[in-house]
Structure 1
Amino acid sequence: MFTMAVLQSAARINAVTENLERIAMFAQRAAGGGAGLLVTPELFTTGYAPGLVKHSDGEAIRAELGRIARQQGIALVGSSVEAASSGLYICASLFDDQGVERTRYRKAHLFGPDEKAAFTPGNALPELVPYRGLALALGLCYDIEFPEYARSAAVRGADVLCIPTAVPTTGDVGGATPGLTYNAERISTMMVPVRALENGVYIAYANHSAPGFTGLSCIVSPYGTFLDAAGGGDDLLIAEIDEAEVRRARKINTYLDCVRTDLYSPQRSPAALSQLP
């Protein structure tokens, strides 16, 4: 058994010291509650504003996240900007309880014009990191909305997906009638549980709090059930994670064993899809 925590809170834009202090406070609370890992929201250290934070000092921020993990004796998933010769990336890092950065993942699916104008998409699958008997994989926000991301991690052996996210509120948009509208709240309430169920994985999904963001952070079991879930405000979610339940869930729902990969062609481009009847 392993206890995991998820932070939901509000960050101020470019108030890095204040935001890091908030993470440290919640890390202390999580560790005091018996949690061995805390997952924090996407770009929480800088506040989520792609165009305004893209040149933040990600290296210094990651050093501070490692210090918090070491000081509080808890593993920590935090998000920052990575500057490389190939571009600027939104990244997520896993620090162990000694403050060592065990892996860093670059967001593959950038959301909306602001992210696409400020950042470069990553082109690598997340590494699987063994930690406390579990195989952990990182993702960021929009990544989890693509079934290919979660499935690729699951078939490689992931037990837990740690997803820092920043989902803005949309209200009901789209169709003219209530039954034909979209609301971003469904990512947390519908899509994340389905990703967990169809892949037999735990998902720790950490969002910013309202207003402006949907909140609704959650920890979901490999059966697609909520182990803990937030509303709109600040919250610290805590749930027990059991590797045996991953194996048990996959015996009940045998999607990974039964999927017919021989039937599916490589992903078609939007241009090819437009030619379909």
Structure 2
Amino acid sequence: MRVAILQGLDAAVDKPEALARLEAAAFDAASQGAGLLIAPEMFLTGYNIGPDAVGQMAEAVDGPSAQQAAGIARAAGIALIYGYPERGADGAVYNAAMVIDAGGKPLLNHRKCHLFGDLDRNAFSAGQDLAPVVTIGGVKVGVLICYDVEFPESVRRLALAGAELIAVPTALMQPFDVIAKIVVPARAFENQVFVAYANRSGSEAELTYVGLSCIVAPDGVDLARAGRGEELIVAAIDPAVADAARAANPYLADRRPELYGALTRERA
């Protein structure tokens, strides 16, 4: 399967404009043979927009934007992953990522589990579990959001659940280039998985996003890497490569879980 990342948006847009840009990117990616398009964290509304705006624009998991995105997926024949603010049945607002298959069927909805500073904590409730691994185009896919991927336990859990590709909608800002350049390739290498890291670009209020979206192979090498501005990047994902990486570099097979019990205990 070929995977595409839409890096952007450089300027703040409303939901109709964001969905129009998603539609254009979906057809562009599909024309390049991609079976999956990943858009950034909070793609539909903007990320650094304040708690009031987040609450006003939050939608149910099956809300009107999800229904329109499902129509885009069906029309373009491509699966979609994108970030948005979810209004849960409990009334809480979550920083979420929706996954829709190429036939327009919702596959999963992941709520960001690790909230980043006051920017996240003032606007969102934390997700309470990682979403399950799903299959898209024959590839087993796990989903994390931004700060989630910076916790090695999150990626390792999805890898142990069989994920071959970890999709990460993100909103990485300056001065954290190190995450995109070093941490993300390290997560791919240490878990023998592909990682597709879909970042925003441009500026939003006081934040300047670093861009540098990437699709990284299980050996930690970039298959595709964006620059700083709006861009669509595409690369091929072959599960056989992940299998070969795990045979050559058997981190998962050589684990000793009995040594790691302290990882689940609260820090003193």
Q: Shorter-chain TM-score: which interval?
A: over 0.9
CA distance in 1, matches of 2:54, 2:43: 11
CA contact (8 A) 2:73 2:79 kept: yes
Q: Which of 138, 146, 153 lines up with 1:148 in the alignment?
A: 153
TM-score (norm 2): 0.92
How far does residue 156 in structure 1 lie from its aligned partner after superposition?
A: 0.9
Q: Where do 5+ consecutive residues of structure 1 fail to align?
A: 171-183, 273-277
Shift of 1:67: 1.5
TM-score of the superposed pair, with normalisation by structure 1: 0.89
Displacement after TM superposition at 1:264 (Å):
1.6
Mapping of residues 219-258 of structure 1, within 5 Å? 219-258=215-254
Deviation by residue 1:144-200 (Cα, 9 ceiling, x = unmatched): 000000000001110111110001112xxxxxxxxxxxxx00101000000000001
Whether 2:259 is the aligned partner of 1:260: answer: no
Cα displacement string for residues 128-159 of structure 1 (whole angstroms, at most 9, x for unaligned residues): 11222211111100000000000000011101
Kindly indicate whether the alpha-carbon contact (under 8 Å) linking 2:10 and 2:229 is maintained by their aligned counterparts in 1.
Answer: no
Unpaired runs of 5+ residues, structure 2, are none
Q: Which residue does 1:176 correspond to in 2?
A: none
Q: Decide which moves more: 193-202 or 75-84.
A: 75-84
What does residue 30 of structure 1 align with? Answer: 29
**Residue in structure 1 matched with residue 84 of structure 2 by the alignment:** 80
Q: Which amino acid aligns with 1:77?
A: I
Q: Which moved more, 1:259-268 or 1:70-79?
A: 259-268
Percentage identity across aligned positions?
39
Of structures 1 and 2, the larger Rg is shown by: 1
Q: Which residue number in structure 1 is paired with residue 47 of structure 2?
A: 48
Q: 2:201 aligns with which of 198, 209, 222?
A: 209
The letter for the 2-side match of 1:207 is N
Q: Which amino acid aligns with 2:74?
A: R
Give the CA RMSD over aligned residues.
Answer: 1.4
Tell me by how many angstroms 1:109 deviates. Answer: 0.5
- Compute the displacement of 1:13 (Å): 4.1
Q: Does 1:197 align with 2:168?
A: no
Query: Once the 2 structures are TM-superposed, how far is the Cα of residue 86 of structure 1 from its aligned partner?
Result: 5.5
Deviation at 1:53, TM superposition (A): 2.0
**Change beyond 3 A, Cα 1:86–1:256:** farther
Choose which of 60, 65, 68 in structure 2 pairs with 1:61. 65
Supply the distance in 1 between the matched residues of 2:209 and 2:18 (Cα, whole angstroms).
17
CA contact (8 A) 1:74 1:96 kept: yes
Greater mean alpha carbon deviation, residues 193-202 or residues 9-18? 9-18
Separation in 2, partners of 1:189, 1:207:
12
Distance 1:255 1:33 in 2: 34
